Amino acid sequence: MSSSAFRQGIYQSEFARKIARWLEAMPHPALALEISQDHIAGARWTRTGGLDDFAAETLPFGALTPSAVESNIANPVAVKSAIAGVMSRLRAKDEEVAMLVPDPVIRVFVQHFEQFPRSPQEAEPMLRWKLKKSVPFEADETVISYMRQAPREDGVDVVTALARLRIIREYESLAEQAGLYPGVVLSSSLAAITLLDDRHPTLLARIS
């Protein structure tokens, strides 16, 4: 099935379309690196958006355990070796990379507000305070990203992504040690939303 047929034949809601627009509005490094529980994968894109090259390396069992709270990298030597192998095959060095991390690392919430500040200086403390009981780490340890979207009723809906800063830094450090500069960090499934189209109700089951 072609990519265009896939996009036309799958999925659904206005919410997912707005998430896709949010993702598409982000910077797009030509290089992407996915770090998952059982493999490391990398892809390089052309300037026109086509796939230029792809590489993957498997990880030994237990080398990485996704968690929102505890250290994820149990076997740094194996993970670094796999990343080095992938980046070598993609001829990647001293450039920006988009990093896709395991879904459990990043928590996503959708909340409704009657009023929501425009200024990030006001919005972020409000979100940290409101979500502090929903995440298993302290608010001051949190890295946060959010977007506004039009609700079905009065007020505003806010989509918020939260992660523990030291866990995100754990993944960013892996890229930095490979000579890369993490420009975008996303959970894998959030990144996959852009494959979808919202013309029909569809269930998205992400297998790989």
How many CB atoms neighbour CB 175 within 10 A? 23
- Assess whether pLDDT exceeds 70 at residue 187: yes
Residues 76 and 82: their CA atoms lie apart, in Å, by: 10
Domains along the chain with CATH numbers:
3-105+165-195 (3.30.420.40)
Q: Bigger pLDDT: 17 or 105?
A: 105
pLDDT in tens, 87-98: 999 999 899 999
pLDDT score for 185: 92
pLDDT in tens, 33-51: 999 999 999 999 887 778 8
Sheet holding 107-113, edge to edge: 107-113, 156-164, 142-149
pLDDT band at 194 (very low <50, low <70, confident <90, very high): confident
Q: Bigger pLDDT: 11 or 140?
A: 140
How far the first Cα of the chain sits from its last, in Å, is 17
pLDDT score for 9: 41
- Please report, to the nearest 10 degrees, the dihedral formed by the alpha carbons of residues 17, 18, 23, 26 taken in order: 140
The mean predicted confidence, pLDDT, of the chain is 85
pLDDT in tens, 57-93: 999 999 999 999 999 999 999 999 999 999 999 999 8
pLDDT score for 25: 52
pLDDT band at 106 (very low <50, low <70, confident <90, very high): very high
Contacts with 60 (C-beta within 8 Å, 6 or more apart), sequence order = 75, 78
- The pLDDT > 70 percentage for the chain reads 86
Taking residues 141-161, report their average pLDDT: 86
